[in-house]
A = this chain, B = another copy of it.
């Protein structure tokens, strides 16, 4: 059996801000192929504290429903103390980040991510302006 090894990659991309949802599935699968792993995990980690990562069925209805849910649970306009500290008005972005979380771990086998057919990996831009973003993909396995 081959030895387990580690390889760290970065996905870098620009976002438009304001609730944009970006499907990362193909990029992660491609990075897995390039790194030539068969069995193991990829840790997907968003760098920074105003975005998030999760899985969803990437279809137009849910691309409206998820931002609507975020606005219902954590509205853009509310009395956030963070806004008083920094004046950048993105307290809601930070709270959405802490709720959804920074890390997602996906197992793979025979070189394929073990996702469902209608289960895509998505980056959630919670910030209120366009941003340059980095997602760490760290592969560990054989």
Q: What residues make up the interface of A, taking CB atoms closer than 8 Å to B? A: 1, 3-6, 8, 39-41, 43, 45, 47-49, 54-57, 59-62, 64-66, 69, 73-74, 80-86, 91, 94-95, 97-107, 109, 114-116, 118-119, 136, 138, 140-142
23 contacts between A and B (CB under 8 A): A4-B6, A4-B140, A6-B39, A41-B140, A43-B105, A49-B56, A49-B116, A49-B118, A54-B99, A54-B101, A55-B98, A55-B101, A56-B97, A59-B82, A61-B81, A65-B82, A65-B94, A66-B98, A73-B73, A101-B101, A102-B106, A103-B106, A140-B141
CB of A62 within 8 A of CB of B82, answer yes
